[in-house]
Structure 1
Amino acid sequence: MSDEQGRTDSAGEGADALAVVVAKPRSQTVIEQLRAEGVYDADRSVREWEADSVAIPVTDPPQSVTYREVVRQVGEPRVRTLADHLRERGWTDAECEQAPSSWAVIGSVVLVDIGDSPRPAEVGEALLALHGEADTVLARHGIDGDHREPDVEVIAGTGDTETIHTEHGTRYSMDLAEVMFSHGNKAERARMGEVVSEGQASGDAASDTDEHVLDMFAGIGYFTLPMARAGATVTAVERNPTAFRFLVENTMLNDVSERVHPYRADCREVVSGFATEQRVDRVVMGYYEAWEYLDSALTALAPGGVLHMHEATPEALVFDRPIERLESAAAEAGRSVEVLDTRRVKGYSEGVAHVVVDARID
């Protein structure tokens, strides 16, 4: 269906290089919708069409996605890799081997660890050519400070670091020059919405139809938003003022402001004010040193509730260390632990893994 009486006559029957034209700000949402319908052509690049629009490759005209028009990209080269784009710019094979091997497209921004790559500006321009839906490339240099603020540098494009990223239907507004966003946590963010939905459907004691969740390190709403969209009421605590601003904005962006109660504070201060009847069904501790806050988490969690504890753990201690820390804290509080699940989310650094332990606390 088309929002501008989309033209399909230029595509032709049996055409093998079709694309739908959409406004650039909608590109990421449309790509997700096309993937869900099964017509997104991942073998071709998204390309700029006009100044305000992009052409997204499809295998067939979509039936459930709005677009401006369907066009045929006859004769357009199918350049698929960053190395292909760099070779077009005269890079040797040896130089291409030094180019980044991974990056993330976050809304309209490409976030990349540039490493020792030669000529970073050319890498940035090649990434923009590879991802027509993006308009800025940021080189990521690390995370600094108590508020875990990103150290980034614009290496190509317009330099606009504010964007809206869509992921499994959840929309995240952010400024990537001011707040962190890990693409590697994508599956875990989606999973938190799923566990809320599954718990409500099963009538789990920790997940009744009015489940109340405490997100102790909410950030811009990484886990809060999918859980609230799944029907939970979430107390979301974040002390970074910039992240908190986006957290509040994102609750409105996702139409969940009535189910999210945001606090700009230290999570320990919020928990200290909890009365017994305010204890929650689920606690999310999405911070690598979350174990330091386990006493507060256990204070907030009702008997039979579920805790999700994240940790950056050396490979040799994966799962053993976070479970031991959790069991020790529970024992001090006179409570017992039933480990429900353990997961590796991603690599944190060399020899260190980002892991999660899910446990029921009685």
Structure 2
Amino acid sequence: MSEQSLAAVVEETETQIALASLKSEGVYDDSRHIAAFEDGTVSIPITEPPQQTAVLEVVEQRGEQRLQTLADHLRKRGWNESEIDDAPGSWAVIGSVILVDLADVPRPGEVGKALLAMHGHADTVLAREGISGQHREPSVDVVAGVGDTETVHREHGTTYALDLAEVMFSPGNKAERAHMGEVVTDGERVLDMFAGIGYFTLPMARGGAQVTAVEHNPTSFQYLVENVVNNGVQAAVETYRADCRDVVARGVEKANSQFVFERVVMGYYDAYEYLDSGLTALESGGTVHMHAATPEAAIPDRPVDRLHTAAKRTDRQVEDYALREIKGYSEGVSHVVVDAVVA
């Protein structure tokens, strides 16, 4: 059997679990594509037989070799080069769901089917149409597959259950989620003011921090609680469904020493509007992480000036800071984070 063409066969329902295990073993071959078959099985390309992952069998790569690019798939469907030029250049696979921007794309249903052919473990393709409202609720449209928008996504050892039609998930923040799990120290007290489904709370708790997680959106909060349990960090996370400003105010009113934190995370693009509460909850010498969507021409001045202004307003002082650009937010606008030590 040629090791270059080996594949592990698993039940389709076990694809995500098997894929995560094969990656952990270091035997997943990401140079080839996963293939799905009519008998309800999936073949996952591997470099050598797995020793720790339960599979049905190890075989030579079954069936037709999967096409390597979306353009290849679309050509096979009869698309001309002009149409292919309008096809999406990127997309995100979140658990069993493919999330893609399809604005002005011809025949989006065919693009969806092509993406499913490329990602055999996925079963639904969603067209991303924007985020709106105080709770940053997504607008999506099912363009291919079974239409199941609820999924489980795994990255860097953290598990996120979510419904992509109900709550937002930013694939571009993957490195930042991992980063927050690495910067915390064991036992560190952290306030996550906009916890969502646990984007930063979960990796920080898994990294040893004691996290107070606040989320106002009831649907996101439901998934937050579920994800805390699924990741086994119940002892490290205290959850509140409330406005984060109210939670801080109640802590101050009760002179609760537990509401003075060594680190405050503000993972919301308009976080500057909540800086007074965030700095009130931060102990002297603590660190605040303020996210912002900022025009490139206003970097670094606008977010940094907003932090200094809030510090002065709350009788605090910014001792040191660093600004990091996370990703593009929109044309001419970047997602940035200001990491600041505040006295």
Q: TM-score, normalised by structure 2?
A: 0.94
Asked if the contact 2:263–2:286 (Cα under 8 Å) also holds between the matched residues in 1, the reply is yes
Please tell me whether residue 288 in structure 1 is matched to residue 265 in structure 2: no
Counterpart of 1:183 in structure 2 is 171
CA contact (8 A) 1:281 1:302 kept: yes
For 2:204 and 2:9, the matched residues in 1 are separated by: 33
Among candidates 87, 92, 114, match of residue 99 of structure 1:
87
The residue that corresponds to 2:219 in the other structure is: 242
Q: CA deviation at 1:62?
A: 2.7
User: Which position in structure 2 is the counterpart of 1:86?
Assistant: 74
Partner of residue 187, structure 2? 210
Instruction: Write out aligned runs for 1:139-288 (5 A).
Output: 139-196=127-184, 200=185, 209-274=186-251, 275=255, 277-278=257-258, 279-288=260-269
2:265 and 2:338 mapped to 1: Cα distance? 10
Note closer, same or farther for the CA distance 1:171–1:26 as it changes in structure 2 (3 Å cut).
farther
d(CA) in 1 for partners of 2:325, 2:16: 27
- Give per-residue Cα distances to partners, 1:283-316, cap 9 Å, x unaligned: 0000000000000000101111111110000001
Counterparts of 1:20 and 1:158 in 2: how far apart (Å)? 24
Deviation larger for 24-33 or 160-169: 24-33
Higher mean C-alpha deviation, range 296-305 or range 339-348: 339-348
Q: 1:332 to 1:89 in 2, by over 3 A?
A: same
SS of the residue 1:117 aligns to: coil
Contact 1:25/1:108 (8 A) holds in 2:
no
CA distance in 1, matches of 2:13, 2:165: 19
Equivalent residue number for residue 8 of structure 1: none
Q: CA RMSD in A?
A: 1.6
Superposed displacement of residue 68, structure 1: 2.6
Distance 1:174 1:289, change over 3 A: same
CA distance in 1 between partners of 2:63 and 2:227 (Å): 42
Taking a change above 3 Å as real, the CA distance of residues 309 and 58 of structure 1, as seen in their structure-2 partners, is: same
1:303 is aligned to 284
* SS of the residue 2:234 aligns to: coil
Name 1:325's counterpart in structure 2.
Answer: 306
Distance in 2 between residues matched to 1:34 and 1:342, nearest whole Å: 36
Cα distance in 2 between the residues matched to 1:276 and 1:322: 30
Contact 2:285 2:341 in 1 (8 A): yes
Code of the residue aligned with 1:273 in structure 2: it is R
Secondary structure of 1:133's partner? coil
CA contact (8 A) 1:44 1:79 kept: no
In the other structure, the counterpart of 2:49 is 61
Taking structure 1 as reference, are residues 264 and 361 closer, same or farther at Cα in structure 2, changes over 3 Å only? same
Contact 2:97/2:149 (CA < 8 Å) preserved in 1?
yes
Gaps of 5+ in 1: 1-11, 201-208
Give the secondary-structure state (helix, strand or coil) at the position aligned to 2:102: coil
Q: Which amino acid aligns with 1:185?
A: N
Cα 1:326–1:82 change in 2 (3 A) is same
Q: Percent identity?
A: 62
Q: CA–CA distance in 2 between the matches of 1:31 and 1:346?
A: 27
SS at match of 1:334: coil
Query: How far 1:26 moved relative to its partner?
Result: 4.1
Mapped contact 1:120–1:155 kept (Cα < 8 A): yes
Number of corresponding residues: 339
User: Deviations along 1:224-270, whole A, 9 cap, x unmatched?
Assistant: 01111111111111111111110111111111122111111100000
- Per mean C-alpha deviation after superposition, the further-off stretch among 28-37 and 268-277 is 28-37
Q: 1:272 to 1:85 in 2, by over 3 A?
A: same
Name the counterpart of 1:112. Answer: 100
Residues 171 and 254 of structure 1 are in contact (CA less than 8 Å); yes or no, is this contact kept in structure 2?
yes
Quick one: distance in 1 between partners of 2:11 and 2:326? 33
Counterpart Cα distance in 2 of 1:27 and 1:84:
25
The CA deviation at 1:52 is 4.2
Q: Give unmatched runs, 5+ long, in structure 2.
A: none
Q: 1:97 to 1:256 in 2, by over 3 A?
A: same
In 2, are the aligned partners of 1:339 and 1:357 still within 8 Å (CA)? no
Q: Are residues 1:338 and 2:319 paired?
A: yes
The code of the aligned residue for 1:306 comes to T
Shift of 1:124: 0.4
What is the TM-score with the length of structure 1 in the denominator? Answer: 0.90
1:276 Cα deviation from its structure 2 partner:
5.2
Q: Which amino acid aligns with 1:119?
A: R
Contact conserved, 1:43 with 1:80, CA < 8 A, in 2? no
Query: Aligned partner of 1:224: which letter?
Result: T
